Amino acid sequence: MAGDLAGSRTSDVMTAIRGRIAGRALAPGDRLPSIRRFAATMNVSPSTVVEAYDRLAAEGLIRAQRGSGFYVSNAALPPLKLAAETPKARAVDPFWISRQALDADDAVLKPGCGWLPADWMPNEALRRAIRSLARSESDLLAYYGSTHGSPALRRLLLGRLAEEGIGAGPDHLMLTNTGTQALDLVCRFLLRPGDTVIVDDPGYFNFQALLKAHQVKIIGVPYGPSGPDIGAFEAILAAGRPKLYITNSAIHNPTGATVSPQVAHRLLNAAAGSDMTIVEDDIFADFEPEPSTRLAALDGLSRVIRIGSFSKTLSASARCGYIAARPDWIEGLVDLQIATNFGGPNPISSEIIAHMLAGGGYRKHMEELRRKLVRVRRETADRLRRLGIEPVILPRGGFNLWCRLPDGLDSALVAQAAVAGGVVLAPGNVFSVSQGAAGFMRFNVAHMLEPRVYEVLAAAMKTAS
Protein backbone atom coordinates (compact mmCIF):
# COMPACT_ATOMS: atom_id res chain seq x y z
CA MET A 1 0.00 0.00 0.00
CA ALA A 2 2.69 2.48 1.05
CA GLY A 3 4.45 1.63 -2.20
CA ASP A 4 1.30 2.26 -4.23
CA LEU A 5 0.72 5.54 -2.44
CA ALA A 6 4.29 6.70 -3.08
CA GLY A 7 3.89 5.57 -6.69
CA SER A 8 0.71 7.59 -7.15
CA ARG A 9 2.37 10.66 -5.57
CA THR A 10 5.26 10.27 -8.01
CA SER A 11 2.90 10.13 -10.98
CA ASP A 12 1.02 13.19 -9.64
CA VAL A 13 4.28 15.13 -9.83
CA MET A 14 5.02 13.72 -13.30
CA THR A 15 1.52 14.73 -14.48
CA ALA A 16 1.99 18.24 -13.09
CA ILE A 17 5.30 18.71 -14.95
CA ARG A 18 3.89 17.21 -18.16
CA GLY A 19 1.02 19.70 -17.86
CA ARG A 20 3.35 22.70 -17.50
CA ILE A 21 5.39 21.63 -20.52
CA ALA A 22 2.28 20.93 -22.62
CA GLY A 23 0.89 24.34 -21.57
CA ARG A 24 4.22 26.03 -22.43
CA ALA A 25 4.58 27.23 -18.82
CA LEU A 26 7.89 25.39 -19.17
CA ALA A 27 9.56 25.82 -22.59
CA PRO A 28 12.36 23.69 -24.08
CA GLY A 29 15.63 24.58 -22.30
CA ASP A 30 13.90 25.97 -19.20
CA ARG A 31 15.16 24.85 -15.82
CA LEU A 32 12.60 22.87 -13.80
CA PRO A 33 11.54 24.07 -10.34
CA SER A 34 14.10 23.06 -7.71
CA ILE A 35 13.44 19.74 -5.98
CA ARG A 36 12.81 21.37 -2.61
CA ARG A 37 10.53 24.14 -3.92
CA PHE A 38 8.42 21.83 -6.05
CA ALA A 39 8.18 19.31 -3.19
CA ALA A 40 6.65 22.11 -1.10
CA THR A 41 4.36 23.18 -3.97
CA MET A 42 3.09 19.63 -4.48
CA ASN A 43 3.15 18.89 -0.76
CA VAL A 44 5.23 15.74 -1.25
CA SER A 45 8.69 14.69 -0.04
CA PRO A 46 11.76 15.84 -2.02
CA SER A 47 12.61 12.19 -2.79
CA THR A 48 9.23 11.85 -4.54
CA VAL A 49 10.08 14.81 -6.78
CA VAL A 50 13.55 13.35 -7.52
CA GLU A 51 11.93 10.04 -8.49
CA ALA A 52 9.41 11.86 -10.71
CA TYR A 53 12.09 14.01 -12.40
CA ASP A 54 14.27 10.94 -12.98
CA ARG A 55 11.39 9.06 -14.58
CA LEU A 56 10.59 12.02 -16.85
CA ALA A 57 14.29 12.20 -17.75
CA ALA A 58 14.27 8.48 -18.58
CA GLU A 59 11.34 9.24 -20.93
CA GLY A 60 13.38 12.03 -22.55
CA LEU A 61 10.89 14.77 -21.69
CA ILE A 62 13.46 16.49 -19.45
CA ARG A 63 17.19 16.00 -18.98
CA ALA A 64 19.36 15.98 -15.87
CA GLN A 65 22.36 18.30 -16.28
CA ARG A 66 25.01 16.76 -14.07
CA GLY A 67 25.45 19.03 -11.04
CA SER A 68 23.02 21.75 -12.07
CA GLY A 69 19.47 20.36 -11.94
CA PHE A 70 16.84 19.38 -14.52
CA TYR A 71 15.90 21.11 -17.81
CA VAL A 72 13.13 20.67 -20.37
CA SER A 73 14.55 18.77 -23.35
CA ASN A 74 15.20 20.79 -26.49
CA ALA A 75 14.85 17.67 -28.58
CA ALA A 76 11.67 16.28 -30.02
CA LEU A 77 10.00 13.75 -27.77
CA PRO A 78 10.30 10.12 -28.76
CA PRO A 79 7.14 8.98 -30.55
CA LEU A 80 4.72 7.48 -28.05
CA LYS A 81 3.72 4.80 -30.52
CA LEU A 82 6.27 2.79 -32.44
CA ALA A 83 5.62 2.48 -36.15
CA ALA A 84 4.55 -0.90 -37.51
CA GLU A 85 7.73 -2.96 -37.62
CA THR A 86 7.19 -4.63 -40.94
CA PRO A 87 5.67 -3.44 -44.19
CA LYS A 88 2.97 -5.87 -45.37
CA ALA A 89 3.99 -5.39 -49.00
CA ARG A 90 7.17 -7.45 -49.17
CA ALA A 91 7.87 -10.33 -51.54
CA VAL A 92 6.74 -13.66 -50.08
CA ASP A 93 10.08 -15.20 -49.09
CA PRO A 94 11.58 -16.64 -45.87
CA PHE A 95 11.89 -13.11 -44.43
CA TRP A 96 8.26 -12.38 -45.27
CA ILE A 97 6.98 -15.24 -43.14
CA SER A 98 9.44 -14.53 -40.28
CA ARG A 99 8.53 -10.86 -40.12
CA GLN A 100 4.79 -11.29 -40.58
CA ALA A 101 4.72 -13.86 -37.77
CA LEU A 102 7.13 -12.09 -35.38
CA ASP A 103 5.78 -8.56 -35.81
CA ALA A 104 2.04 -9.35 -36.04
CA ASP A 105 -0.03 -7.50 -33.43
CA ASP A 106 -2.24 -9.33 -30.94
CA ALA A 107 -5.35 -9.13 -33.12
CA VAL A 108 -3.68 -11.16 -35.88
CA LEU A 109 -4.08 -14.97 -35.91
CA LYS A 110 -0.90 -16.86 -36.78
CA PRO A 111 -1.40 -20.47 -37.98
CA GLY A 112 1.72 -19.76 -40.06
CA CYS A 113 3.97 -19.22 -37.05
CA GLY A 114 6.45 -21.74 -35.68
CA TRP A 115 5.65 -21.65 -31.97
CA LEU A 116 2.92 -22.55 -29.50
CA PRO A 117 0.37 -20.06 -28.09
CA ALA A 118 1.52 -18.44 -24.84
CA ASP A 119 -1.23 -20.19 -22.85
CA TRP A 120 0.16 -23.58 -23.93
CA MET A 121 3.55 -22.78 -22.41
CA PRO A 122 4.53 -23.58 -18.78
CA ASN A 123 4.10 -20.00 -17.63
CA GLU A 124 3.75 -20.74 -13.92
CA ALA A 125 6.94 -22.81 -13.91
CA LEU A 126 8.59 -20.00 -15.88
CA ARG A 127 7.49 -17.40 -13.32
CA ARG A 128 8.77 -19.64 -10.52
CA ALA A 129 12.12 -19.96 -12.31
CA ILE A 130 12.32 -16.17 -12.74
CA ARG A 131 11.48 -15.57 -9.05
CA SER A 132 14.19 -18.02 -8.04
CA LEU A 133 16.60 -16.21 -10.39
CA ALA A 134 15.86 -13.01 -8.44
CA ARG A 135 17.18 -14.81 -5.34
CA SER A 136 20.39 -16.11 -6.92
CA GLU A 137 23.85 -14.83 -6.07
CA SER A 138 25.02 -11.43 -7.34
CA ASP A 139 27.86 -12.92 -9.39
CA LEU A 140 25.34 -14.75 -11.53
CA LEU A 141 23.28 -11.59 -12.03
CA ALA A 142 26.20 -9.22 -12.69
CA TYR A 143 28.77 -11.10 -14.79
CA TYR A 144 29.09 -12.34 -18.37
CA GLY A 145 29.30 -15.94 -17.24
CA SER A 146 31.68 -18.59 -18.51
CA THR A 147 32.67 -18.88 -22.16
CA HIS A 148 30.86 -22.24 -22.52
CA GLY A 149 27.67 -21.07 -20.77
CA SER A 150 25.83 -21.96 -17.55
CA PRO A 151 27.39 -25.04 -15.89
CA ALA A 152 23.98 -25.96 -14.40
CA LEU A 153 22.34 -26.15 -17.82
CA ARG A 154 25.31 -27.93 -19.40
CA ARG A 155 25.13 -30.64 -16.70
CA LEU A 156 21.46 -31.20 -17.48
CA LEU A 157 22.10 -31.33 -21.23
CA LEU A 158 24.94 -33.84 -20.75
CA GLY A 159 22.44 -35.95 -18.82
CA ARG A 160 19.96 -35.76 -21.68
CA LEU A 161 22.64 -36.69 -24.22
CA ALA A 162 23.63 -39.61 -21.99
CA GLU A 163 19.98 -40.77 -22.03
CA GLU A 164 20.26 -40.93 -25.81
CA GLY A 165 23.40 -43.03 -25.47
CA ILE A 166 25.67 -40.16 -26.52
CA GLY A 167 28.58 -40.26 -24.08
CA ALA A 168 29.53 -36.61 -24.29
CA GLY A 169 31.81 -34.81 -21.81
CA PRO A 170 31.88 -31.12 -20.88
CA ASP A 171 34.29 -30.42 -23.74
CA HIS A 172 31.68 -31.65 -26.24
CA LEU A 173 29.14 -28.99 -25.28
CA MET A 174 28.65 -25.21 -25.42
CA LEU A 175 25.65 -22.97 -24.94
CA THR A 176 24.59 -20.20 -27.35
CA ASN A 177 22.13 -17.30 -27.25
CA THR A 178 19.72 -19.11 -29.56
CA GLY A 179 19.40 -22.28 -31.64
CA THR A 180 19.75 -20.16 -34.77
CA GLN A 181 22.95 -18.59 -33.45
CA ALA A 182 24.21 -22.13 -32.77
CA LEU A 183 23.76 -22.97 -36.46
CA ASP A 184 25.23 -19.62 -37.50
CA LEU A 185 28.40 -20.30 -35.48
CA VAL A 186 28.72 -23.77 -36.99
CA CYS A 187 28.36 -22.32 -40.50
CA ARG A 188 30.93 -19.61 -39.80
CA PHE A 189 33.29 -22.23 -38.46
CA LEU A 190 32.92 -24.81 -41.25
CA LEU A 191 31.87 -22.88 -44.35
CA ARG A 192 33.51 -20.43 -46.75
CA PRO A 193 31.72 -18.36 -49.43
CA GLY A 194 31.07 -20.55 -52.48
CA ASP A 195 30.80 -23.82 -50.54
CA THR A 196 27.84 -26.11 -51.20
CA VAL A 197 25.31 -27.00 -48.49
CA ILE A 198 22.39 -29.47 -48.67
CA VAL A 199 19.05 -28.69 -47.02
CA ASP A 200 15.75 -30.54 -47.11
CA ASP A 201 13.17 -29.58 -49.74
CA PRO A 202 10.79 -28.77 -48.19
CA GLY A 203 12.73 -27.68 -45.11
CA TYR A 204 12.81 -25.03 -42.42
CA PHE A 205 12.78 -21.69 -44.28
CA ASN A 206 15.25 -19.83 -42.07
CA PHE A 207 18.02 -22.31 -42.97
CA GLN A 208 17.88 -20.74 -46.46
CA ALA A 209 17.98 -17.18 -45.10
CA LEU A 210 20.95 -18.04 -42.88
CA LEU A 211 22.87 -19.82 -45.64
CA LYS A 212 22.34 -16.87 -48.01
CA ALA A 213 24.03 -14.69 -45.37
CA HIS A 214 27.00 -17.07 -45.65
CA GLN A 215 27.06 -16.72 -49.45
CA VAL A 216 27.07 -20.48 -50.04
CA LYS A 217 25.43 -22.56 -52.76
CA ILE A 218 22.23 -24.21 -51.45
CA ILE A 219 21.05 -27.55 -52.88
CA GLY A 220 17.72 -29.03 -51.81
CA VAL A 221 17.22 -32.80 -51.36
CA PRO A 222 13.62 -34.00 -51.79
CA TYR A 223 12.19 -34.85 -48.36
CA GLY A 224 9.57 -37.60 -47.97
CA PRO A 225 7.69 -39.54 -45.27
CA SER A 226 10.80 -41.48 -44.15
CA GLY A 227 13.34 -38.66 -44.53
CA PRO A 228 15.42 -37.29 -47.38
CA ASP A 229 15.36 -39.19 -50.72
CA ILE A 230 18.55 -41.14 -50.08
CA GLY A 231 19.13 -41.84 -53.77
CA ALA A 232 18.96 -38.14 -54.58
CA PHE A 233 21.18 -37.45 -51.57
CA GLU A 234 23.84 -39.87 -52.79
CA ALA A 235 23.61 -38.40 -56.30
CA ILE A 236 24.25 -34.88 -54.93
CA LEU A 237 27.32 -36.14 -53.09
CA ALA A 238 28.56 -37.92 -56.20
CA ALA A 239 28.06 -34.81 -58.33
CA GLY A 240 29.81 -32.32 -56.06
CA ARG A 241 31.52 -31.95 -52.72
CA PRO A 242 28.94 -30.49 -50.35
CA LYS A 243 30.48 -29.43 -47.06
CA LEU A 244 27.36 -29.66 -44.91
CA TYR A 245 23.88 -31.17 -44.65
CA ILE A 246 21.50 -29.32 -42.32
CA THR A 247 18.30 -31.07 -41.23
CA ASN A 248 15.63 -31.21 -38.51
CA SER A 249 15.78 -34.57 -36.82
CA ALA A 250 13.07 -36.37 -34.81
CA ILE A 251 10.13 -34.37 -36.15
CA HIS A 252 10.88 -32.60 -39.39
CA ASN A 253 9.86 -29.01 -40.10
CA PRO A 254 7.58 -28.51 -42.07
CA THR A 255 6.51 -32.06 -42.96
CA GLY A 256 6.40 -33.63 -39.47
CA ALA A 257 8.05 -36.74 -40.95
CA THR A 258 10.70 -38.81 -39.14
CA VAL A 259 13.88 -40.26 -40.62
CA SER A 260 13.70 -44.09 -40.73
CA PRO A 261 16.59 -46.10 -39.20
CA GLN A 262 17.62 -47.35 -42.65
CA VAL A 263 17.71 -43.85 -44.14
CA ALA A 264 19.64 -42.57 -41.10
CA HIS A 265 22.20 -45.35 -41.50
CA ARG A 266 22.65 -44.71 -45.23
CA LEU A 267 22.85 -40.95 -44.70
CA LEU A 268 25.75 -41.38 -42.31
CA ASN A 269 27.56 -43.77 -44.62
CA ALA A 270 27.13 -41.43 -47.58
CA ALA A 271 28.39 -38.50 -45.48
CA ALA A 272 31.38 -40.55 -44.32
CA GLY A 273 32.13 -41.50 -47.92
CA SER A 274 32.52 -37.89 -48.98
CA ASP A 275 33.73 -36.51 -45.65
CA MET A 276 30.69 -34.28 -45.16
CA THR A 277 29.46 -32.90 -41.84
CA ILE A 278 25.80 -33.16 -40.78
CA VAL A 279 24.04 -30.68 -38.51
CA GLU A 280 21.08 -32.25 -36.69
CA ASP A 281 18.69 -29.64 -35.30
CA ASP A 282 17.03 -31.17 -32.26
CA ILE A 283 14.42 -28.53 -31.64
CA PHE A 284 11.27 -30.69 -31.95
CA ALA A 285 12.66 -33.91 -30.43
CA ASP A 286 10.81 -33.61 -27.10
CA PHE A 287 7.50 -33.61 -29.00
CA GLU A 288 8.07 -37.23 -30.10
CA PRO A 289 5.74 -39.83 -28.52
CA GLU A 290 8.77 -42.14 -28.34
CA PRO A 291 12.39 -41.43 -29.35
CA SER A 292 13.28 -42.10 -33.00
CA THR A 293 16.65 -43.07 -34.47
CA ARG A 294 18.86 -40.01 -34.17
CA LEU A 295 21.90 -39.23 -36.32
CA ALA A 296 24.06 -37.95 -33.44
CA ALA A 297 23.30 -41.11 -31.46
CA LEU A 298 24.29 -43.43 -34.35
CA ASP A 299 27.36 -41.37 -35.17
CA GLY A 300 28.43 -40.40 -31.66
CA LEU A 301 29.25 -36.76 -32.45
CA SER A 302 32.10 -37.53 -34.83
CA ARG A 303 30.74 -36.03 -38.05
CA VAL A 304 27.32 -35.08 -36.73
CA ILE A 305 26.85 -31.81 -34.87
CA ARG A 306 23.79 -31.63 -32.62
CA ILE A 307 22.18 -28.25 -32.07
CA GLY A 308 19.00 -27.38 -30.24
CA SER A 309 17.06 -24.90 -28.15
CA PHE A 310 14.09 -24.66 -25.78
CA SER A 311 12.05 -22.03 -27.63
CA LYS A 312 9.36 -24.48 -28.70
CA THR A 313 8.99 -26.32 -25.40
CA LEU A 314 9.70 -23.83 -22.56
CA SER A 315 10.04 -20.21 -23.70
CA ALA A 316 11.09 -18.27 -26.79
CA SER A 317 11.64 -15.21 -24.58
CA ALA A 318 14.21 -16.76 -22.22
CA ARG A 319 16.12 -17.87 -25.30
CA CYS A 320 19.01 -20.29 -25.12
CA GLY A 321 20.55 -22.76 -27.56
CA TYR A 322 23.39 -25.29 -27.54
CA ILE A 323 25.94 -27.07 -29.72
CA ALA A 324 27.21 -30.61 -29.07
CA ALA A 325 30.18 -31.55 -31.25
CA ARG A 326 33.76 -32.79 -31.37
CA PRO A 327 35.86 -31.16 -28.60
CA ASP A 328 38.33 -29.60 -31.07
CA TRP A 329 35.41 -28.02 -32.94
CA ILE A 330 33.81 -26.79 -29.69
CA GLU A 331 37.13 -25.15 -28.80
CA GLY A 332 37.14 -23.25 -32.09
CA LEU A 333 33.42 -22.44 -31.85
CA VAL A 334 33.92 -20.98 -28.36
CA ASP A 335 36.62 -18.63 -29.70
CA LEU A 336 34.27 -17.65 -32.52
CA GLN A 337 31.48 -16.92 -30.04
CA ILE A 338 33.86 -14.76 -27.96
CA ALA A 339 34.85 -12.82 -31.08
CA THR A 340 31.29 -12.26 -32.30
CA ASN A 341 29.29 -12.15 -29.03
CA PHE A 342 31.93 -11.70 -26.30
CA GLY A 343 31.63 -14.49 -23.79
CA GLY A 344 28.96 -17.12 -23.67
CA PRO A 345 25.21 -16.71 -23.94
CA ASN A 346 22.99 -14.64 -21.67
CA PRO A 347 23.48 -16.26 -18.23
CA ILE A 348 20.08 -15.29 -16.82
CA SER A 349 18.22 -17.08 -19.63
CA SER A 350 20.34 -20.20 -19.23
CA GLU A 351 19.63 -20.27 -15.48
CA ILE A 352 15.89 -19.92 -16.06
CA ILE A 353 15.92 -22.81 -18.56
CA ALA A 354 18.10 -24.94 -16.25
CA HIS A 355 15.70 -24.34 -13.36
CA MET A 356 12.75 -25.47 -15.49
CA LEU A 357 14.51 -28.58 -16.83
CA ALA A 358 15.80 -29.63 -13.40
CA GLY A 359 12.37 -29.41 -11.81
CA GLY A 360 10.07 -32.39 -12.08
CA GLY A 361 7.48 -30.43 -14.06
CA TYR A 362 9.13 -30.60 -17.47
CA ARG A 363 8.23 -34.21 -18.30
CA LYS A 364 4.61 -33.68 -17.17
CA HIS A 365 4.42 -30.48 -19.23
CA MET A 366 5.63 -32.28 -22.37
CA GLU A 367 3.27 -35.24 -21.81
CA GLU A 368 0.36 -32.85 -21.53
CA LEU A 369 1.48 -30.98 -24.66
CA ARG A 370 1.73 -34.23 -26.62
CA ARG A 371 -1.74 -35.37 -25.50
CA LYS A 372 -3.24 -32.01 -26.39
CA LEU A 373 -1.54 -31.94 -29.80
CA VAL A 374 -2.78 -35.42 -30.78
CA ARG A 375 -6.36 -34.20 -30.33
CA VAL A 376 -5.90 -30.78 -31.93
CA ARG A 377 -3.99 -32.28 -34.88
CA ARG A 378 -6.85 -34.66 -35.67
CA GLU A 379 -9.49 -31.92 -35.36
CA THR A 380 -7.50 -29.53 -37.53
CA ALA A 381 -6.92 -32.16 -40.21
CA ASP A 382 -10.70 -32.84 -40.36
CA ARG A 383 -11.60 -29.14 -40.59
CA LEU A 384 -8.98 -28.54 -43.30
CA ARG A 385 -10.24 -31.51 -45.34
CA ARG A 386 -13.66 -29.86 -45.40
CA LEU A 387 -11.97 -26.99 -47.29
CA GLY A 388 -10.35 -29.47 -49.68
CA ILE A 389 -6.95 -29.08 -47.96
CA GLU A 390 -5.30 -32.50 -47.55
CA PRO A 391 -2.55 -33.30 -44.98
CA VAL A 392 0.36 -34.98 -46.79
CA ILE A 393 1.18 -37.05 -43.70
CA LEU A 394 -0.25 -37.12 -40.18
CA PRO A 395 2.87 -36.54 -38.00
CA ARG A 396 3.76 -38.55 -34.87
CA GLY A 397 4.17 -35.33 -32.93
CA GLY A 398 4.77 -31.60 -32.98
CA PHE A 399 2.42 -28.87 -34.09
CA ASN A 400 3.09 -28.62 -37.84
CA LEU A 401 0.75 -30.04 -40.47
CA TRP A 402 2.07 -29.98 -44.05
CA CYS A 403 -0.88 -29.90 -46.44
CA ARG A 404 -1.70 -29.90 -50.15
CA LEU A 405 -4.09 -27.18 -51.35
CA PRO A 406 -6.83 -27.88 -53.93
CA ASP A 407 -5.39 -28.15 -57.44
CA GLY A 408 -4.19 -24.94 -59.06
CA LEU A 409 -4.11 -22.81 -55.92
CA ASP A 410 -0.92 -20.82 -55.30
CA SER A 411 -0.30 -20.78 -51.54
CA ALA A 412 1.64 -17.49 -51.76
CA LEU A 413 -1.43 -15.74 -53.19
CA VAL A 414 -3.61 -17.37 -50.53
CA ALA A 415 -1.19 -16.18 -47.82
CA GLN A 416 -1.14 -12.61 -49.14
CA ALA A 417 -4.92 -12.52 -49.25
CA ALA A 418 -5.12 -13.95 -45.72
CA VAL A 419 -2.73 -11.32 -44.28
CA ALA A 420 -5.18 -8.67 -45.42
CA GLY A 421 -7.78 -10.57 -43.36
CA GLY A 422 -5.57 -10.60 -40.27
CA VAL A 423 -4.31 -14.20 -40.59
CA VAL A 424 -0.63 -15.07 -41.15
CA LEU A 425 -0.14 -18.30 -43.12
CA ALA A 426 3.06 -20.17 -44.12
CA PRO A 427 2.99 -20.76 -47.91
CA GLY A 428 4.83 -23.82 -49.25
CA ASN A 429 7.49 -22.16 -51.35
CA VAL A 430 9.14 -20.36 -48.42
CA PHE A 431 10.18 -23.89 -47.39
CA SER A 432 11.32 -24.93 -50.86
CA VAL A 433 14.72 -24.30 -52.44
CA SER A 434 13.38 -25.62 -55.76
CA GLN A 435 10.25 -23.46 -55.43
CA GLY A 436 8.28 -26.63 -56.13
CA ALA A 437 5.87 -26.31 -53.19
CA ALA A 438 3.51 -23.58 -54.41
CA GLY A 439 0.60 -25.98 -53.93
CA PHE A 440 1.41 -26.66 -50.25
CA MET A 441 0.94 -24.88 -46.95
CA ARG A 442 2.22 -25.47 -43.40
CA PHE A 443 -0.37 -25.12 -40.64
CA ASN A 444 0.43 -24.79 -36.93
CA VAL A 445 -2.44 -26.82 -35.42
CA ALA A 446 -2.14 -25.09 -32.03
CA HIS A 447 -3.19 -21.83 -33.73
CA MET A 448 -6.10 -23.40 -35.67
CA LEU A 449 -8.75 -23.42 -32.95
CA GLU A 450 -10.38 -20.07 -33.85
CA PRO A 451 -13.22 -20.42 -36.38
CA ARG A 452 -12.08 -17.10 -37.91
CA VAL A 453 -8.93 -18.85 -39.22
CA TYR A 454 -11.08 -21.09 -41.42
CA GLU A 455 -13.36 -18.26 -42.55
CA VAL A 456 -10.38 -16.07 -43.61
CA LEU A 457 -8.66 -19.10 -45.16
CA ALA A 458 -11.74 -20.01 -47.21
CA ALA A 459 -12.15 -16.40 -48.37
CA ALA A 460 -8.44 -16.13 -49.24
CA MET A 461 -8.67 -19.34 -51.29
CA LYS A 462 -11.55 -17.80 -53.25
CA THR A 463 -9.57 -14.58 -53.81
CA ALA A 464 -6.52 -16.54 -54.96
CA SER A 465 -8.35 -18.91 -57.33
| Structural element, H or E, at residue 401 | strand 400-404
Query: By the 8 A CB rule, do 246 and 183 touch?
Result: yes
Query: Does residue 27 touch its own copies according to CB under 8 A?
Result: no
CB-wise, 121 or 403, nearer to its own copies? 121
CB of 321 to its own copies, least distance (A): 10
DSSP string, 61-120: SEEEETTTEEEE-SSPPPPSSPPPSS-S-S-SSHHHHHHHHHH--TTSB-TTSSS--GGG
User: What is the rounded CA–CA span in Å between residue 423 and residue 434?
Assistant: 26
Please pick, from the candidates 27, 77, 238, 420, the single residue that binds its own copies as defined by CB under 8 A: 77
User: What is the rounded CA–CA span in Å between residue 426 and residue 295?
Assistant: 28
Stretch that binds its own copies, among 157-165, 245-253, 261-269, 434-442 (CB under 8 A): 157-165
Query: Does residue 11 touch its own copies according to CB under 8 A?
Result: no
CB of 51 to its own copies, least distance (A): 4
CB of 105 to its own copies, least distance (A): 10
CB of 423 to its own copies, least distance (A): 17
Write out the binding residues for its own copies, residues 277-296 only, by CB under 8 A: 289-290
Please pick, from the candidates 83, 89, 91, 107, the single residue that binds its own copies as defined by CB under 8 A: 83
Query: Does residue 40 touch its own copies according to CB under 8 A?
Result: no
* Closest-CA residue to 312 (of 338, 332, 333, 285): 285
Write out the binding residues for its own copies, residues 203-222 only, by CB under 8 A: 206, 209-210, 212-213
Please pick, from the candidates 41, 45, 302, 317, the single residue that binds its own copies as defined by CB under 8 A: 317
Query: Does residue 352 touch its own copies according to CB under 8 A?
Result: yes
Query: Does residue 76 touch its own copies according to CB under 8 A?
Result: yes
CB-wise, 98 or 274, nearer to its own copies? 98
Angle 205-213/94-103 helices, nearest 10 degrees?
110
Query: By the 8 A CB rule, do 282 and 245 touch?
Result: no
User: What is the rounded CA–CA span in Å between residue 421 and residue 461?
Assistant: 12
User: What is the rounded CA–CA span in Å between residue 415 and residue 150?
Assistant: 41
Three-point CA angle 125, 130, 134, nearest 5°: 145
Write out the binding residues for its own copies, residues 136-155 only, by CB under 8 A: 138-148, 151, 154-155
CB-wise, 74 or 386, nearer to its own copies? 74
Write out the binding residues for its own copies, residues 166-205 only, by CB under 8 A: 166-167, 169-171, 177-181, 184, 188, 193
Is cis: bond before 202, omega within 30 of 0?
Answer: yes
CB-wise, 22 or 142, nearer to its own copies? 142
